Each structure stands twice: as structure tokens, then as C-alpha cells.
Amino acid sequence: MKKEIVLPETIKECHELIIDLTRQIEQLQRRAFGSLKDRACKYEGPSLFDELEEEEHIAATAKLDKAINEVEADAKRRREEAKEAKRNARPEKYNTYGLPEEHRTEIPEGINVEDYDIIGYDTNRILHLVPQKLWVEVIKRPVLRAKKDKNAPSPQIIQSPAPYNILGGGHVAADLLSTLIVNKYCHHLPEYRQVKMFSDLGLKLPTSTVNNWIHAAAQVSLSSL
């Protein structure tokens, strides 16, 4: 905005105005191009750009306030959207479709059910978890000889074949090996943590053994391709 300058009516007043404006210009020159001391000195007097600086400050403040309001409104909108999405994603009840069910009927104690008619049921559905369990399968394969061949020089010997062994020695089953591999590569559970879990279940295993089992199972799988 262009500022209108009103000149004084007398020559003396014009001379005083020129002197005052000259001093302001000198002060601005010292602040802009003078020594560090002059530039560090805080000028408290009037300035040629007071009105312009005030207008720019008002405009900048208004622009900043507008930007702050827009950011706050956008943040509030995103929070509301996140809450709504979370609220919509939350199931009203647990989906247990496909899980096996065990049914039992609770009869009040101290009564003979034959004396009553059942006129309805109230059903409770409770989700359970069976903790992981380690166990050892002991397979005995008897060596059989026909009784008629008891004294024969070459008796017929019969025995069930040994179970299929994924790893040499047959001391670890496929279900345990698959659990180790799925825990490590699908659930990102390190071997040492799995060893700690097995220790809590009563099995003491070195981590190196678990690592050898996993690598051996991988070699067996790759060799069959």
C-alpha cells in the first residue's frame, strides 16, 4: 500500500522533516551495511518501513493461523477416520467357525432329572486352548518266530518294518520338525527361544541340536525336488 506524504506548510517544518528522514536513512544504512557493533545495536526509533512491516506481519500471522487451523482440522479428521475404521474392524463376537467343539450338559446338583421336563436351554460358548505338549512315542516291534520252527535250523523270522525316519536315527517326528520350521520362518521365533519353550515343557535341548534338525530337514526336502 502506497503511503501518502503530506508536506508541511512552512519551509522550516520541511527542513526539519528532511533532517529527520535523513537521520532515519543513516540509521538504516548503519544497521544494514555498518560494522558488527552498529548492526547489533537495537534501534528503538521510528522506521521508514514501520507500516509496511506491520502489514506484512499481519498478513503472515493470518496465513500462519490459517495453516495451523487446516493442519489441526486434517489431524482431527484422520483421527476420526482411524477410530471409525478400528470400530468397524472390531468383530461383534469371536468367529469360531471351523473349530472343533466339545459339548456337555450341566445338571443342577441334588435333583433327579427324570422328575423334570426340559423346557429350554441356555448355551454358553467358551473358547479354550490346550497348551503345547511334548511326548515320546515308544514303538515296540517284536521279533516273531513261528512256533513250528522252534527247532528248525532256518526258522522264519517276521517283524514289522521300522517307521519312516525323516532324519537319521528316527528320534524326532515330522510334527516336531514342522513346528520348529514354522515357528522360525513363519512366526519369526528364533531357535534359542524355542529351546527355552521346550525347557519349560521339560525337554532339555541344546540350540545347536535344533539348528541341525532344521538344516537336515531342509536338505531332505530339497533332495526330493
Q: Which alpha helices (H) appear in 90-190, and where do they start and end?
A: 174-185
Q: Count Cβ atoms below 10 Å from residue 93 Cβ, excluding itself.
A: 6
Q: Contact at 8 Å (CB) between 211 and 181?
A: no
Q: Please give the C-alpha separations between residue 112 and each of 107, 109, 117, 218, in angstroms, as whole numbers.
A: 9, 9, 11, 61
Of residues 60 and 106, more confidently modeled? 106
- Asked whether residue 189 carries a pLDDT value surpassing 90, the answer given is yes
- Predicted confidence band of residue 60 (pLDDT cuts 50, 70, 90): confident
With 90 as the cut, is the pLDDT of residue 191 above it? yes
The answer to whether residue 31 scores a pLDDT higher than 60 is yes
DSSP state of 43: P
> In this predicted structure, what is the pLDDT of residue 193?
95
On the 0-12 / 13-18 / 19+ scale of CB atoms within 10 A, 213 is buried
Q: What is the pTM of this model?
A: 0.49
Copy the grid coordinates of residue 162: 521300522
Give the pLDDT confidence score for residue 65 in this predicted structure.
Answer: 84
What CA–CA distance (Å, rounded) separates 74 from 69? 9
Least confident piece of the model among 4-13, 66-75, 116-125, 140-149: 4-13
Residue 193: partners with Cβ closer than 8 Å, 6 or more residues away: none
| pLDDT exceeds cutoff 60 at 91 | no
In the block, cell 433327579 appears at: 112
d(CA 30, CA 225): 86
pLDDT in tens, 116-168: 888 888 888 888 888 888 989 898 989 988 888 888 888 888 889 888 888 87
Contact 213, 193 (CB under 8 A): no
User: Which of the 8 DSSP states describes residue 34?
Assistant: S
